[in-house]
Amino acid sequence: MAITVKSLDTPDQAYEFGDAGRYDITVIGNSMVARSVLNPGWSWDEYIKPHAEGAESCPETHHEYVISGRIRYLTDEGDEILAGPGDHLVIGPGHRAWVVGDEPCVVVDMEIGEMEDDGED
């Protein structure tokens, strides 16, 4: 069995939210890991919605693990959850999020086997 290792510190794609943080994507085959470092004041409404082509809430499913900080999620149905260090959550399409408190929130989002394999590692 082959082993492939890539560092999250050298992402394949990186998106900056100005002073509000960043979103880094690392891909191996058809697996993707995204690490978000979201600073206090970051919110989906302010930093993602303007680029979401008319979506009122996030259209993606996330499989997340919170490393540090706190993040609050609100679904379109009105369910609300506060996630913090050590929490693993799956949240479906139709949600918004924002950082809570004065500490950056670091979240790892794992999408395994859901991407098309382009043959590159």
- pTM, 2 dp: 0.86
* Alpha-carbon span 99 to 17, nearest angstrom: 13
Q: Given this model, what pLDDT does residue 91 score?
A: 94
Backbone dihedral region of 29: left (phi > 0), alpha (psi from -120 to 50 degrees) or beta?
Answer: left
- Where do the domains of the chain lie, and which CATH numbers do they carry? 13-112 (2.60.120.10)
Secondary structure (3-state) at 51: helix
pLDDT tens for the 121 residues of the chain, in order? 689 999 999 999 999 999 999 999 999 888 899 999 999 999 999 999 998 888 999 999 999 999 999 999 999 999 999 999 999 999 999 999 999 999 999 999 998 655 444 444 4
Could you tell me how many helices (H) and strands (E) the chain has, helices first? 1, 9
Q: Given this model, what pLDDT does residue 1 score?
A: 66
